Amino acid sequence: MNNIDLAYLPVVGRGLQIKIICEMHNIGINYMLSNPMGEDFDKDSQAPFGTIPWMKDNNNGIELNDSMAIVLYLVSKYPGPLTPQNSEEAAIVNMYWSWAQDYYSFVLSPFHDIITGHNEPFWRNLRLTDTLADGGKETGISNLTKLHNIRTGFLEKHLSSNQTGSFLTGSNCSYADIFLYTCVRTVQKTAGFGILRDSCGGDPFKDCPTIVSIINEVGKIDAVTKASGDIFEKAPI
Ligand SMILES: N[C@@H](CCC(=O)N[C@@H](CS)C(=O)NCC(=O)O)C(=O)O
């Protein structure tokens, strides 16, 4: 069986989508927990960019240190149901993937700072932002809730007038659907994102029926439930 080393954290984050994709494409994973939430891998010295996810393909030794690069590599090197059929399909899937990546980076990730109480500058090497600055927690949550509504509002409007099947790009599930699924379920279910649910009156996706119907379709795929296990119930974020 194909086999990769994958270093990430014991949270949903940017790791679960890679696990699901591996499950769907029959790729075995040696899962390593990185600092600051594990000791199998030291992202600061072992990952070239100091971030995770990081992966190494044990078949050929290639190492990759970016989630999208990892996913694009895996679906092209080890073809399966998520491999795009042509350049046009790949381009559209990548566009939706990047929607989810932006939503994760600019909405979910700043929420992580509030949930975990981290507000020191440079606690992450990727950005110099303090979500709690200029108004503290309440203002931070209110601003990010606004951003959540704007971002999801654009996607919902676009999908409700363009969607042609059960998934983002038609009748087949893509790796972008998988990332959208992990983001939406994180917000709907994890304990930490209770603050966003409360801030939205209970359901942050109440005005997003198209997004929710896509997510529910993704949730029916066996490999998705198998790879997810009880992570949404157990992981904090
Ligand atoms: N563009 C990168 C971003 C990776 C990223 O931000 N990873 C976070 C965890 S989800 C991280 O390693 N943060 C630690 C840091 O920035 O120092 C990717 O998608 O892989």
Q: What confidence tens digit (pLDDT) does each residue in 45-60 have?
A: 999 999 999 999 999 9
Q: What percent of the chain has pLDDT over 90?
A: 89
Ligand 1 pocket residue status of 189, Cβ below 6 Å: no
Number of the ligand 1 atom closest to the C-alpha atom of 44 = 17
Domain with CATH 1.20.1050 in the chain: 87-221
Domain 87-221 class, CATH top level: mainly alpha
| pTM for the predicted model, two decimal places | 0.96
SS3 123: coil
In this predicted structure, what is the pLDDT of residue 127?
A: 76
- SS3 breakdown of the chain: % helix, strand, coil, rounded to 5? 50, 10, 40
pLDDT tens digits, 112-125: 989 988 877 777 88
Domain with CATH 3.40.30.10 in the chain: 2-77
What is the CA 112 to chain-centroid distance, rounded? Answer: 13
In this predicted structure, what is the pLDDT of residue 128?
A: 74
Ligand 1 pocket residue status of 67, Cβ below 6 Å: yes
In this predicted structure, what is the pLDDT of residue 134?
A: 76
More confident site: 129 or 199? 199
pLDDT tens digits, 168-220: 999 999 999 999 999 999 999 999 999 999 999 999 999 999 999 999 999 99
| CATH no. of 2-77 | 3.40.30.10
Ligand 1 pocket residue status of 113, Cβ below 6 Å: no
Q: Whose CA is nearest to atom 2 of ligand 1?
A: 66
Tokens of 76: 């092209």
pLDDT tens digits, 39-98: 999 999 999 999 999 999 999 999 999 999 999 999 999 999 999 999 999 999 999 999
Asked if the model's pLDDT at residue 1 lies above 80, the reply is: no
Q: Whose CA is nearest to atom 16 of ligand 1?
A: 124
Rounded CA-CA distance 154/74 in Å is 29
Q: 109-116 vs 136-162: helix axis angle to the nearest 10?
A: 150
Pocket of ligand 1, candidates 124, 127, 175: which has the most ligand atoms within 8 Å of its Cβ, to mutate? 124
